[in-house]
Amino acid sequence: MTITLTPTFIYISALNAVSIMFLVFSLIKLRGVLKFLTLEENNYTLLFGFIGVRMYIYLYVLSILLLSIFLWIITA
Amino acid sequence: MESNEPVITSNKDRHFRGQAHEEEVLAFCRKHWTSLFHEFFLFIFILVLIVLFSLYFQAISEVFTPVLLHLLILVVGTILTYYIHRFFLVLLKHYLTVIIITDVRILAITRSLYFVNEKESVDLATMRDVHKYQSGFLENMFNFGHLKITLGTSPTCIELTSIPNPEFHLRLINKAKQQHLATTQEKPLEED
């Protein structure tokens, strides 16, 4: 696979870098924010009782990484 | 060696920041999950669009000129990145927004990761009435509704929206209020 440095590719790479940095910053911030609630004693349930907030955090990370890879492959 | 002295436990900051020493949490809830319905529908719609876009990418690239195609990728990529971040931040806001009923007060905490950090506290003694209403098919079908709390000292009222099982929470608030009033009336007598 050859990568051509087109303006679109550079823009998408920058967008992905910003997006991943925002994700990391959100996760760090979330760590601090979650400390203010200990109502569930480590059972962080969110929507239907069986899907916890941790699951959504994993999905968040996965979605952003997959989207970055997808956009990167399309423009490369 | 065992000690017979009672263990003194403090509730301070045990379940949430700002919890008083003798304050007991009776119940807590978040907004009903139906308040996230439209977000999930939109997310699924966006996912379907991504799948279709990747499946027919070859055909799309033949229709548009290279410049337009690159512009399309830029716009779609930016919107998708923004939207996915927004969706998960909305989910986390839903998780962090809690209503806590203690034996002394009702606390409504609205919090998001970046933009909102709000805490509203209503003392049970200053509360006049609680009005529950569930209107519409969805609210009665999925058993959620709104609680309107009127304060005795001012004409202002506080509205808690999309509360799951509002009947239970209404009864709990009324019971807690009665107990709180009874204990505050008893205390001066005990001191005499």
pLDDT at A45: 53
Q: Residue B178: how many CB atoms within 10 A of its CB? A: 11
User: Per-domain residue ranges for chain A?
Assistant: 7-75
pLDDT at B26 over 50: yes
pLDDT at B57: 83
Give pLDDT tens digits for B40-66: 999 999 889 888 888 888 888 888 888
User: Is B36 within 8 Å of A47 when comparing Cβ atoms?
Assistant: yes
- Which are the contacts of B123, defined by CB distance < 8 A and separation ≥ 6? B104, B105
Give pLDDT tens digits for B115-163: 998 998 888 888 888 899 999 898 999 999 999 988 876 777 888 999 9
User: Is B95 within 8 Å of A53 when comparing Cβ atoms?
Assistant: yes
Indicate the SS3 state at residue B141.
Answer: helix
Tokens for B147? 């609680």
User: Is A19 within 8 Å of B81 when comparing Cβ atoms?
Assistant: yes
Tokens 């009864």: give the residue.
B171
pLDDT at B60: 84
3-state per-residue secondary structure call for chain A: CCCCCCHHHHHHHHHHHHHHHHHHHHHHHHHHHHCCECCCCCCCECCCCCCEHHHHHHHHHHHHHHHHHHHHHHHC
Interface confidence, given as ipTM, is 0.83
Gap from B95 CA to chain A (nearest CA, Å): 6
The shortest CB-CB distance from B84 to any of A11, A33, A63 is to: A63
Give pLDDT tens digits for B152-177: 767 778 889 999 999 999 999 999 99
Residues of B in contact with A71 (CB under 8 A): 73, 77, 80-81
Give pLDDT tens digits for A6-65: 888 888 899 999 999 999 999 988 887 777 666 665 445 555 455 667 788 888 999 999
Average pLDDT, chain B: 85
A 6-35 → B contacts, CB under 8 A:
6-8, 11-12, 15-16, 19, 22-23, 26, 29-30, 33
Q: Which residue has the higher pLDDT, B13 or B131?
A: B131
Gap from A3 CA to chain B (nearest CA, Å): 15
Rounded-to-integer distance, Cα A5 and Cα A8, Å? 8
Task: Find the helix packing angle between A53-75 and B66-96, rounded to 10°.
Answer: 170
pLDDT at B170: 93
Q: Residue A44: how many CB atoms within 10 A of its CB? A: 16
Indicate the SS3 state at residue B158.
Answer: strand
Question: Residue A45's closest chain B neighbor by CA?
Answer: B95
pLDDT at B24: 85
Residues of B in contact with A26 (CB under 8 A): 85, 89, 113
- Which residue(s) pair with B145 in the sheet? B163
C-beta contacts of B147-156 below 8 A and 24+ residues apart: B147/B173, B149/B106, B149/B122, B149/B173, B151/B122, B151/B126, B151/B127, B152/B126, B152/B127, B152/B128, B153/B126
Instruction: Report the percent of chain B where pLDDT is more than 90.
Output: 29
pLDDT at B187: 64
Rounded-to-integer distance, Cα A42 and Cα B51, Å? 36
Q: Is B12 on the interface with A (CB under 8 A)?
A: no
